[in-house]
Amino acid sequence: MIRHRRPIALFLSLLLLLPAIGCGRESAAGQDQQPVSRTYFLFSTIITIRVFDEGMTEARFDRIGELLETIDRQLSRQLADSEIDQVNRQAGIQPVAVSAETYRVVEEALQFAKKSGGRFNPAIGPLVDLWAIGNGGDSVPSKEHIAEALALIDYEDVALYPQERKIGLARTGMSLDLGAIGKGYAADVIAEYLRSEGMKSALIDLGGNLLALGAKLDGSPWSIGIQDPAEQRGAYLGTLQVIDKTIVTSGVYERFFKADGQVYHHLLDSATGYPFRKNLLSVSIVTDQSMIADGLSTSVFGMGLEEGVAFIEQWDGVEAIFVTEDNQVIVTSGLDGRFQLTHEDYTLAERPTATP
């Protein structure tokens, strides 16, 4: 399964009076304006699709399941003989032909790596395996083992062959990990399918990657709660009104362990081999495409507050919400007056002044 990059509890709470979701589906949409829904389990996380349209059928939900399973077979490094697993097993030996979809995701991931100066790194697999945070890892690796992993995670050693549509890894032991972008890609695929079927109002939640398709049935925006990263699922620090947007969060809580009084979280710095130390608890990205939001959330978390704010301000149609370790909340300029802070333990602070 695709490794999920952020803790499940760091999700974006939906501030909607929806009925509870059980093992099956809800009643047909249009009856008291309730959605039809289905829950899946793929990519090591719970995926919930809610569609507010009477035209949503069981066959269409089945098709979404097929799309998710296809993506898993393409992008999961944990799934034996997936396309990415084949690429990783041939590291240092030969490039491997992949589908157009897998090629595109890897190509996008490498672009994020370049734009972020390596904070986002799709070649980070050996370091992820070494720490194994969230997968049984509970101790700090030795400096020697970290050095060995660092020698295998240079994203510039990932080679693309566009005419043959092949991907190659330069050295044995290298491993691609698309967990920081794969769920975003999957959310976009589901949204594209729903639009193609005429669905105009839906909520797509892939373990914290939230995509709000269209508006509510009455045309009003969705009211989305931004998770309080220091609390359990369902506790939020503020709200944001959105129409046809995706919100993706990277944060440090739940997938972590403590050793000698120090917290070690799952967001790993490929420059040092240790978790990022940027005085941040979480970063939420708000934009139109979930894959872009996915890639940017990791990228700007690794940059830290000042550089991250300046970086996002350069992107058209992209905004961000930063939560610092001292409980300050900073939003980029496009969210001024739009984000409502609701938690008394947090303070809405001014954006840092960019250093010349």
- Please, which contacts does 28-37 make with residues 24 or more away whose CB atoms are closer than 8 Å? 28/54, 29/53, 29/54, 29/56, 30/54, 33/217, 35/202, 35/203, 36/61
Query: What pLDDT score does 355 carry?
Result: 54
In the chain, which residues fall in CATH 3.10.520.10?
A: 36-68+181-348
Query: What pLDDT score does 20 carry?
Result: 29
Query: How far is it, in rounded angstroms, from Cα 16 to Cα 25?
Result: 17
- CATH class, 36-68+181-348 region: alpha beta
Which pLDDT tens digit goes with each residue over 266-287? 899 999 999 999 999 999 999 9
Residue 46 sits at φ, ψ, to 5 deg, of: -85, 130
In the chain, which residues fall in CATH 1.10.3980.10?
A: 90-169
**Domain 90-169 homologous superfamily, CATH:** ApbE-like superfamily (1.10.3980.10)
- In this prediction the pTM is 0.90
DSSP result, 202-223: EEEEETTEEEEES--TTSPPEE
Q: Which two tokens stand for residue 158?
A: 């990932």
Which pLDDT tens digit goes with each residue over 30-81? 334 589 999 999 878 899 999 999 999 999 999 999 999 999 999 999 999 9
Residues with Cβ within 8 Å of 254's Cβ and at least 6 positions away in sequence, in order, are 7, 8, 9, 10, 134
